[in-house]
Amino acid sequence: MSLSHDVCLVTGAGGFLGARIVKLLIEEGAMEVRLLDRSIKPDLLLSLEASGTQPKASVFQGDIRDGELLRKACRGASTVIHTASVIDVTGAMDYSELRGVNVEGTQLLLDICLQENVTSFIYTSSIEVAGPNPQGDPVVDGDEETPYFSCLKFPYSRTKQEAEQLTLKANGQLLHNGGRLASCALRPTYIYGDGCRFLQGHMADGIRNGNVLLRTSRPDAKVNPVYVGNAAFAHVQAARALRDPQKREAVGGNFYFISDDTPPVSYSDFNYAVLSPLGFRIRERPVLPFPLLRLLCFLLEMVQLCLQPFVKYTPPMNRQLLTMLNTPFTFSYRKAQRDIGYRPCYSWEESRKRTTDWLASVLPAE
């Protein structure tokens, strides 16, 4: 199903994933692509201008909680791809800010979509909605039907779960003009690639440690990251599916895991895989045995609790994050392939090369 007659709004359009979706929608021939974010990097706008896409691209700069801004951005739009989110895996953000953006912002956007007759809504969820749970129960090659007891402790995970549920519940709701909204959610695994600030941070840590990467995850705790170009393509395919009368009913109301053919590997060994061509090494063992690391995390959390009334302190690691880094947790993209026609556009070899080349370009000069 072509998007050539669609007006598509991408929230979080200035972000790592959102910017890729914007460029792909323009390449796919969408009639108009609207970019909404608090800030949009000038280089993205320059690249769009250089490609001759104007006036295909329109910019709406502001907060996802600004109802008037959302109403202007949604008016006349047919598809909304909602990637805007506050990401926080260490507990540094206030819960009110996390919930305000991730949950209340999503609900406001959904309400306005119904009022402005937006017919398709795709929500960028997260693998963390699935888990892992605090017990570290593993999942290997799981799918959307895999039974799993998930008790989410991270505030970020809980807000993403709540926003996903709002999105799926909105499927089939009545639009102002009498039509129906079709909505779905995508759960990408850990997204990496050129422009990934987390990888850039790991590289900076390695440089400070003499070009040696610290090990924070066991080699057997395998996960399956997804390249950003493939994650972006999955969103475009979901938009196509929701516009297709033959697929719309089957896809609406569902969530999909999005991974690719990146080999399952631990988080630490993945960092090494993309940084080793630049001369980085990795510790074979963690700084401390994992039982001691868990105890240390508990003690740091107690310090945080005691200091909370007086000063804001965020430990660099906590028990839930340590569990996430050390739990085998892999998921298949088979259902997304079947329902929305998703397939990885970039092989592991190409994805790794693009990522390493970008890291080389931002490597600080000696």
Residues acting as catalytic residues: 156
What is the chain's Cα-based Rg? 21
Q: How far is CA 103 from CA 5, 98, 107, 164, in A?
A: 30, 8, 6, 9
Q: Is the dihedral of CA 274, 44, 59, 6 positive or negative?
A: negative
Give the DSSP H/E element, type plus range, for residue 183.
strand 182-188
Instruction: Specify whether the CB–CB gap between 273 and 362 falls below 8 A.
Output: no
Q: Computed from CA positions of residues 104, 105, 110, 114, in that sequence, does the dihedral angle turn out positive or negative?
A: positive
For residue 271, give the nearest of 259, 261, 260, 283 by alpha carbon: 283
**CB contact at 8 A, 159 and 128:** no
The two tokens of residue 152 are: 């989410």
Instruction: List residues bridging with 355 in a β-sheet.
Output: none
**CA–CA separation, 11 and 3 (whole Å):** 18
For 169, left (φ over 0), alpha (ψ -120 to 50), or beta?
alpha
